[in-house]
């Protein structure tokens, strides 16, 4: 993929326009994180980008071709979709679920060959979860299920990956593991679009951030888009962007919300590190 | 240090891969073995079915007659054997096999299509619609062919109605739940028409005809009846078998299936039309025989797993063998013939409860 572009997109359902005049573009090896509060149309925009919804206006272009003209097959070969994981009705083994990613690469009347299964297995390997292959998809943990779905999207051999809140409903360790894999895939040249509820993720694995609000979408580099001011305006909460220079991992950036939490010990600077046990006579005034 | 890490990284994936492939190979071997066993049971069941009945025919006689008919050999055997086997038992056996295959493959398809292991050909109103059409034809004193035709038309009308209503109700968003609910409503409606037609029927002549037909029996099946069953069943089952892998994607939901590259609209329509066609032709032949379309896909899923690549062929085969055995029980268990629908329910219901109790993880 060279360029994925939204041109003056108006998206929504029949009569209700959800978002208007959305335009941005991204290139190969870029990773776009979509942030925004619930109910502003992130999902609608998402479905429009994936071709599930026809845009009410404008075009979604992939290397200059409107994806609205593509059939599901061609779309699947270009764009891999990682949905939020849910339990399917049947207990497929993980390897079978990943092999389903080959659907767009085989004939409509064919079943996957041993080669397709090998590709699927390599996708699991690439994510470091090959040991899951023979387990039942319905019985693995949420994090493992997410990895399975990412592997399935990779088995499509797409040029772009679109992920719907890949870290939702995962524990902290799994969130970090999933994000690690995402940034590795971006390093390997895949383009990634993902939605998330955590502004931190923008600093962790985004080359571009799209902040979706009721008034529209602003797209730009993480440092410009995710600011204390913009987060206050978007979410109505007080947030500090904190940076820390570490020797081995470089400059780390994160968002910490301000919560008026007065119970427990005093947090003013005077007694930091000593928990008040330093015997300093200068009384804390808070 | 770098080099040692590389060695570890190259070696470690190889170990689980070998394990996985051994396990996979074992799974494939297991599937093949299961298919072979079912086929062997099927062949034995067919041979035994030829011998069963009031007039006893020995297996060598059966083989002789079949060999004469198929290979044109000239093995000596009593003429009456020939008549019994070719005119009476063969049509019945073929009909049982095709009806079982039709109902089981339709059931398995509907389950994948609607992402719900609890649905069966009764869903969408297919069997109720077909039953209703056939009842009205029987009420009007229609011929055999007219009954068949009316059943198919009824089935198609019921399914189109279900599909159209749910398309309007769901307005393009997820249709699955709407389809299931509308199917129930349409089935109830057609059931009411069936009851009405029984109520209106002449109690001396037409009412018994309708009632007995609804209960289902293959006792009067003749060679001439077979094309009306066999042709539509083949026309329906073959496309389903060809496109079966696509059902896997559909069982994950429409959006995921589309993102995987499945043409969901075409696949859904194809499977609905084909499954309805085979259900209607089975209902027209033998009445409303329940449970086969629910129990057999479950049993097949327990044996070979949920992947439609093997599940659909296994279901089809297993359904054929199952209904043949049930039909044999129907004609031999008691001095009088039992209706098919009675035995499929009496055997199917407890068997299904047993499946639910021990097979939970294959569907939940």
The lowest-confidence range among A5-9, A219-223, B209-213, B307-311 is B209-213
pLDDT for the residue numbered B78: 83
Residue partners of B247: CB distance under 8 A and separation at least 6: B109, B112, B113, B267, B271, B308, B312
Is A100 within 8 Å of B305 when comparing Cβ atoms? no
- Rounded CA-CA distance A3/A221 in Å is 17
Q: Where are the domains of chain A?
A: 3-238
pLDDT for the residue numbered B322: 96
Q: What pTM was computed for the model? A: 0.86
Tokens of B186: 């349409």
pLDDT for the residue numbered A190: 93
Judged against a pLDDT cut of 60, whether residue A284 lies above it is answered with no
CATH code that applies to domain A3-238: 3.40.50.300
Sign of CA dihedral A145, A147, A148, A149: positive
- Neighboring chain B residues of A193 at a CB cutoff of 8 Å: none
Q: Testing the interface with A: which of B20, B259, B315, B360 to mutate, by most A Cβ within 10 A?
A: B259
pLDDT for the residue numbered A282: 53
- Residue pLDDT, tens place only, B65-92: 988 888 888 888 888 888 888 888 999 9
Distance (Å) of CA A85 to CA A142, A145, B15: 8, 7, 28
A53 touches chain B (CB under 8 A): no
- Residue pLDDT, tens place only, A174-193: 889 889 989 999 999 899 99
Tell me the average pLDDT across A201-216.
90
Tell me the average pLDDT across B337-359.
84
- Chain A, 66 to 85: residues with Cβ < 8 Å from chain B are 71-73, 75-77, 79-81, 83
Q: Which residue of A has its CA nearest to B307?
A: A92
Judged against a pLDDT cut of 90, whether residue B1 lies above it is answered with no
ipTM: 0.86
More reliable by pLDDT, A12 or A102: A102
pLDDT for the residue numbered B175: 64
More reliable by pLDDT, B244 or B23: B244
pLDDT for the residue numbered B248: 94
pLDDT for the residue numbered B12: 44
Residue B75 lies in a domain: yes
Query: Do A66 and A58 contact (CB within 8 A), yes or no?
Result: no
Order across the sheet with A65-66: list the strands.
A16-27, A3-13, A57-62, A65-66
Q: Which domain holds residue B235?
A: 15-362
Judged against a pLDDT cut of 60, whether residue A79 lies above it is answered with yes
- Residue pLDDT, tens place only, B120-179: 877 778 889 999 998 999 888 888 778 878 888 898 899 889 888 887 887 756 666 787
DSSP summary character for residue B173? S
Judged against a pLDDT cut of 90, whether residue A271 lies above it is answered with no
Judged against a pLDDT cut of 90, whether residue B359 lies above it is answered with no
Closest approach of B170 to chain A, Cα-based (Å): 13
Tell me the average pLDDT across A82-99.
88
pLDDT band at B352 (very low <50, low <70, confident <90, very high): confident
% residues pLDDT > 70 (chain B): 91
Judged against a pLDDT cut of 60, whether residue A134 lies above it is answered with yes
* CATH number of the domain that residue B349 is part of: 1.10.3470.10
More reliable by pLDDT, B1 or A205: A205
Judged against a pLDDT cut of 50, whether residue B363 lies above it is answered with no
A233 touches chain B (CB under 8 A): no
- Chain A, 20 to 49: residues with Cβ < 8 Å from chain B are 47
Is A103 within 8 Å of B245 when comparing Cβ atoms? yes
% residues pLDDT > 70 (chain A): 91
- Neighboring chain A residues of B16 at a CB cutoff of 8 Å: 130-131, 133
Tell me how many helices (H) and strands (E) chain A has: 9, 12
The lowest-confidence range among B232-241, B246-255, B310-319 is B246-255
- Residue pLDDT, tens place only, A142-175: 889 999 999 999 999 999 999 999 988 788 988 8
Pick left, alpha or beta for residue A258 (phi over 0 → left; psi -120 to 50 → alpha; otherwise beta).
beta
Closest approach of A109 to chain B, Cα-based (Å): 5
Instruction: Compare CB distances from A71 to B24, B263, B361 and report the shortest one's residue.
Output: B263
pLDDT for the residue numbered B25: 76
Closest approach of B35 to chain A, Cα-based (Å): 18
pLDDT for the residue numbered B6: 41
Mean pLDDT over the full length of chain B: 85
Instruction: Compare CB distances from B16 to A117, A131, A138 and report the shortest one's residue.
Output: A131
Domain count, chain B: 1
Q: Testing the interface with B: which of A47, A79, A84, A90 to mutate, by most B Cβ within 10 A?
A: A90
- Neighboring chain B residues of A92 at a CB cutoff of 8 Å: 248, 305-307
Among A98, A190, A183, which residue's Cα sits nearest to residue A147?
Answer: A98
Residue B127 lies in a domain: yes
- Rounded CA-CA distance B235/B311 in Å is 19
Residue B74 lies in a domain: yes
């Amino acid at each position: 993929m060279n360029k994925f572009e939204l041109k003056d997109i108006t998206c929504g359902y029949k009569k209700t326009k959800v978002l208007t005049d959305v335009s941005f573009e991204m290139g190969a090896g870029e990773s776009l994180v979509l942030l925004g509060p619930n109910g502003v149309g992130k999902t609608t925009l998402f479905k429009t980008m994936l071709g599930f919804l026809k845009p009410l206006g404008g075009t979604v272009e992939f290397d200059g071709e409107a994806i609205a003209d593509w059939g599901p097959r061609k779309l699947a070969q270009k764009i891999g979709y990682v949905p939020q994981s849910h339990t399917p009705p049947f207990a497929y083994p993980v390897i079978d679920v990943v092999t389903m990613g080959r659907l767009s690469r085989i004939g409509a009347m064919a079943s996957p060959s041993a080669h397709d299964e090998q590709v699927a297995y390599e996708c699991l390997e690439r994510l470091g979860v090959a040991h899951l292959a023979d387990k039942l998809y319905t019985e693995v943990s949420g994090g493992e299920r997410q990895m399975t779905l990412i592997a399935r999207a990779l088995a499509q051999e797409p040029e772009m990956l679109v992920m719907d809140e890949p870290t939702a409903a995962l524990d902290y360790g799994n969130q970090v593991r999933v994000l690690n894999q995402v940034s590795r895939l971006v390093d390997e040249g895949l383009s990634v679009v993902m939605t998330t509820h955590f502004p931190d993720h923008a600093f962790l694995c985004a080359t571009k951030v799209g902040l979706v609000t009721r008034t529209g979408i602003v797209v730009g580099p993480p440092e410009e888009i995710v600011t204390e001011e913009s987060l206050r305006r978007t979410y109505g909460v007080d947030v500090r962007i904190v940076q820390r220079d570490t020797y081995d991992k470089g400059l780390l950036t994160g968002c910490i919300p301000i919560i008026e939490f007065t119970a427990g010990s005093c947090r003013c600077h005077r007694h930091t590190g000593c928990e008040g046990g330093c015997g300093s006579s200068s009384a804390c005034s808070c | 240090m770098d080099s040692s890490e590389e060695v570890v990284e190259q070696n470690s994936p190889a170990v689980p891969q070998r394990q996985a492939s051994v396990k996979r190979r074992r799974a494939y071997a297991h599937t093949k073995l299961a298919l072979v066993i079912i086929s062997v049971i099927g062949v034995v069941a067919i041979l035994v079915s030829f011998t069963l009945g009031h007039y006893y025919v020995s297996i060598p006689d059966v083989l002789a007659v079949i060999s004469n008919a198929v290979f044109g050999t000239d093995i000596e055997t009593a003429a009456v054997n020939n008549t019994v086997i070719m005119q009476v038992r063969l049509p019945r056996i073929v009909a049982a096999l095709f009806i079982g295959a039709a109902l089981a493959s339709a059931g398995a398809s509907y389950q994948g299509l609607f992402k719900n292991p609890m649905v069966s050909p009764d869903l969408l109103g297919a069997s109720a619609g077909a039953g209703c059409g056939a009842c009205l034809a029987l009420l009007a004193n229609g011929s055999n062919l007219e009954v068949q035709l009316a059943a198919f038309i009824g089935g198609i009308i019921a399914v189109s109605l279900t599909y159209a209503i749910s398309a309007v109700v769901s307005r393009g968003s997820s249709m699955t739940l709407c389809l299931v609910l509308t199917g129930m409503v349409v089935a109830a409606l057609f059931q009411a028409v069936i009851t009405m037609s029984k109520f209106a029927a002449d109690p001396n002549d037409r009412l018994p005809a309708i009632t007995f037909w609804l209960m289902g029996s293959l006792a009067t099946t003749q060679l001439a009846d077979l094309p009306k069953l066999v042709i539509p069943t083949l026309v329906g089952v073959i496309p389903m078998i060809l496109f079966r892998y696509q059902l896997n994607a559909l069982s994950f939901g429409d959006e995921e299936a589309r993102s995987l590259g499945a043409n969901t609209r075409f696949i859904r329509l194809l499977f609905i039309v084909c499954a309805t066609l085979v259900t209607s032709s089975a209902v027209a032949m033998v009445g409303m025989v329940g449970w086969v379309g629910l129990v057999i896909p479950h049993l097949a899923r327990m044996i070979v797993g949920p992947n439609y690549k093997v599940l659909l062929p296994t279901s089809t085969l297993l359904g054929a063998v199952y209904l043949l055995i049930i039909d044999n029980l129907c004609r031999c268990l008691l001095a009088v013939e039992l209706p098919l629908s009675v035995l499929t329910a009496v055997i199917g219901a407890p068997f299904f409860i047993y499946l639910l109790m021990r097979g939970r993880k294959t569907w939940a």
